[in-house]
Every structure is written in C-alpha cells, then in structure tokens.
Amino acid sequence: MPHTAKLIQGSTFKHVVSMSATGAFGLMCMFLVDLVDMLFLSMLGEKEAVAAVGFASSIMFFTISLSMAVSISATALVSKAVGEGNIELAKRRAVNVLAFGIFFSTAVVWMLWPNISNVLLYIGATGRTLDLATGYLQILIIGMPAVMIGMIGSGIMRALGDARRAMYATLIGGLVNAVLDPIFIFAFGLGVQGAAIASLIARFSMVAVSYYGVVYIHKMLGEFDLMDFFKDAMSISVIAIPAMLTNLSSPLANAIVMEHTSTFGDDAVAAVAIIGRIIPVVFGGLFALSGAVGPILGQNYGAGRFDRMHSTISSAVIYAFAYCVILCVGLYQAQDWLVSVFNATEGSAELIRFFATFVSFSFFFQSLLFIAIAVFNNLGKPLNSTLLNFGRATLGTWPLIIIFSLFMGAEGVLLGQAIGSVIFGCLGFYMARNYIAELEEKEAEAILPSHSHSYNEIL
C-alpha cells in the first residue's frame, strides 16, 4: 500500500470529522463495553458490585491513559515522518515505539499488581466493595500490555490517515467483550470476576486486529534493531513521558472526585460510577478529537503547511460545538430512561439528572482542552499539555469541588469539576493558537534570511 501524506490535502473539516468519527466509534465501542458491564452487574441487585467496578475503573483509566500516551508518541513521530516523505524513518519509529510500549507496560503490571488492594483502599473502597474491586482488577490488569499494543497499532494507522482500520481494533475488542459478558457474568455465575475475564479476553483480541493492520496491510514495521531503538528512545520519551503525565492527570482528577464523593455514601459513588460509564459513550466523539487532530497537525507540520494547521483547529472547534449541542440535548431527554435502565436508587438518580441537566454542557470547553493537547503533543511542546491537564486535575478540581460540595452536597462535586473544565479549556485553546502562530513566525524568519542570501549571491 502506498504511504502518501493524505492529510496534507483536501478539506481539513472533512479530515477532522472522518478521523474523529472513526476514532469515536472505536472508543465508544470500548467504553460501551464498560457501560454494558455496569448494566449487567446492576441486574445482580448488589450495589456493592456496581460501586466496586466504579472504584476499579479509576485504576483502569490510569493504565489505559498510559497506553494512550505511548500511542500519542507513535502518532506524532510517524505522522511527521510521513509528512516529510521519509517512510523508512516512519517504519523505524513505528517498531521502536511498539517495543517501548511493551517494555513499559510489562513493568507497570509488575509494580501495580501486588499493590492493587492498597491503592483501592486509599481511594475509599472498603468492605465487600474492596474485595470485589480487588478481584476484578487482579484479573483485568494482566491485559495492560495487550491494550498498549492495540493502541499503538491504532496510533500508527491514524498517523497514516487510515482512521477506518485504526477503529477496527477497539471495535472488535468491544464486540468480543459484549458477547462474552453475559456468558461469564450470568451463565457461569462469576459476577464481577466474570466481567473482568470477558474484558481480558477482549483486550487480547485487539492485539491480533491491530497487528494485522500495521504489519500485513500497511507493512509499517521495520526490523527491530537494538541500536536504533536506543537512538529513538529519547525522541519517544520526550513525547511519551509528558503525554503520560498529561493523561495521568485525568485519572488523578477522577480519583479525587471518587475519593470526595465516597464521603457522601455508596449511592453517590454508584451515581458517579454510572455517570463515568455514560460520559465516554455519549462524548466519545470529543475524546477522540485529540487523537484525530494530532495526525492532521503532524503531517501538515512535516510538510510545512501552517495554513492548514490553523484551519484544522478551527474545524475542530466547529465540530466540537455542533457535537455537544446535539448530544447534550439528547442526554437531557434521556435522563429518566438512564435512571430506569441502571436501576438507580433515589440518591443516585438525583445526581444523574443533575449531570444530564446542568453539567454535560461543560464538555464543549473540555474539548477545547483536547484540541490544545493535540497541538502541543504533536508540535513539540508536550510539557505544556502536562501543565494544562494537571492544572485542571488539581487547581481546577480539588478546591472547586470542596467549595461547591459544602453548599450543594454531592451535586457540588460535579459542578466544581465542570467549572474547572471551562476555565482550563479556554486557557489551553488560547495558548495553542498562539503557539502555532509562533511556529509559523519562526518558520518565516528561518526562510527569509536564506532567500535574502540567495538574492545577494545573484547580485
């Protein structure tokens, strides 16, 4: 298959929509499985089971965020090389990022597995909820290297502009999980552990699909060479490590929210756990925005097309606004149905309705932050993404949820987090626009002296 930089031509809005839609569909399938897990477990009539998966998800989001960070590194490095027309460099970077991800994820599993119960205890899980959450995570965490491989493979294919095949890995994984969930939970009577086993098998199915796309369809993996790996390790780390810190801030914010919510009882924890499953399914199109915008920016940066880079982020804002208006209205209309489907208690139902009515609209501003993160991760300033996301997770979360919960109870936790997203979304987008303008100015200054020199030589 020819490796052309297809994202440096054609409508930027069309690229944003197609890349986001396919990315969103894949992500939503993956998160939909978590939603189905919650739905099936709620049918057991045991609120501790639902709360346990809520606590466990905070930790799983941490491991998935690490995998996404290395995938960001793959997308940024490969897309820039493709934009420059250097396909051999793109292949070398692809195989070395994959090796980096395997080594790193294996080390994380080795360190985290023995300490799962202590981590869950720290974020507020107790009693039977703690036991169920521990058993769930001890099974699921083993699949982290598989998630890492699947996400890196998808990142490589997105870097090539092949959003459709990048979607297949998460799509197949989601389908496998959805089929196996009721079998392991109900037919085998394994409950929470059955949900974990089904998810583990699904994660390994992602590996086969992504490997097929990268190796057999695109032929994008060069031969692994240890010396080349050491050469690329620094370039990978410069993007991956700040991106990891950036992504870690989201589970940090979720852990802060879950820990503070636990002071309001299991009903509040169960509500936040249900909301946590609803959010990725409803707003998956926004979560995919950063991964969609990144390859477009990377290829055009490699080709020196700053006009298309400005157009790309403008197109992303238009897409995000239209998406939020449609989905937030739909979520508002569906709130009673969601309460019924999840068999929510009266206390949980109040929080779900509050989120659907007042809080959901803040996700447009969070999408501005996603766009800013894509700009900084793919254009050489990943540390800015880290600072912005950690600012949102700490200054934009902790003080606000404490203040608002004093006056509003558990609802104040949700509102405080939403206000933090509005503040940091606007700040991040302003910084990103200015940064692209700075890069363009530097490029113009670098070209101008060389042109003047050539003109003087002619004279």
Instruction: Please count the structural domains in the chain.
Output: 1
Q: pTM (2 decimals)?
A: 0.77
What pLDDT score was predicted for residue 4?
A: 62
In a domain, 406, yes or no: yes
What is the 3 state secondary structure string of the chain? CCCCCHHHCCCHHHHHHHHHHHHHHHHHHHHHHHHHHHHHHHCCCCHHHHHHHHHHHHHHHHHHHHHHHHHHHHHHHHHHHHHHCCHHHHHHHHHHHHHHHHHHHHHHHHHHHHHHHHHHHHCCCCHHHHHHHHHHHHHHHHHHHHHHHHHHHHHHHHHCCCHHHHHHHHHHHHHHHHHHHHHHHHHCCCHHHHHHHHHHHHHHHHHHHHHHHHHHHCCCCCCCCHHHHHHHHHHHHHHHHHHHHHHHHHHHHHHHHHHHHHHHCHHHHHHHHHHHHHHHHHCHHHHCHHHHHHHHHHHHHHCCCHHHHHHHHHHHHHHHHHHHHHHHHHHHHCHHHHHHHCCCCHHHHHHHHHHHHHHHHHHHHHHHHHHHHHHHHHCCCHHHHHHHHHHHHCCCCHHHHHHHHHHHCHHHHHHHHHHHHHHHHHHHHHHHHHHHHHHHHHHHHHHHHHHHHHHHHHC
What pLDDT sits at residue 213?
Answer: 86
User: pLDDT under 70 in the chain at which residues?
Assistant: 1-5, 27-28, 30-35, 251, 447-459
What pLDDT score does 447 carry? 64
Residue 455 counted as domain residue? no
- Give the tens place of pLDDT for each residue, 270-317: 888 888 878 877 887 888 887 788 888 988 888 888 889 999 999 999
Q: Quote the pLDDT of residue 31.
A: 65
Say if 199 falls within a structural domain.
yes
pLDDT at 432: 95
| Residue 456 forms part of a structural domain | no
Model pLDDT, residue 366 = 93
Is 451 part of any domain? no
Domain holding 425, by residue range, is: 17-441
| Inside any domain, residue 454 | no
Residue 10 in domain: no
In a domain, 452, yes or no: no
